[in-house]
Structure 1
């Protein structure tokens, strides 16, 4: 899927399943976020992954 096509076809989701997300997918998402541009290339973000349903 092309980037522009993904942006144009995105949808908001407000109903989620209880199915857990695989660790490899979570790691890929964090890596994608780390590669995202930031203002003045500061890259001052922090990522946290919560998988415990009690904490979510």
Structure 2
């Protein structure tokens, strides 16, 4: 083992990666919520357009 590799921290320590995983989880949650909300809005608008066309 070389001297430089002995001084390096262990690869993959869980404590240092925890904030990164937390941020990624939050971003994925926001993206999923945005997509689900947009899909619901598009369906509502399409239903309203069908009802308006049927009324005329």
Q: TM-score, normalised by structure 2?
A: 0.32
Q: Find the structure with the greater CA-based Rg.
A: 2
Higher helix fraction: Structure 1 or Structure 2? 2
Taking structure 1 as the reference length, the TM-score comes to 0.32
**Greater relative CO (CA pairs within 8 A, separation 6+):** 1
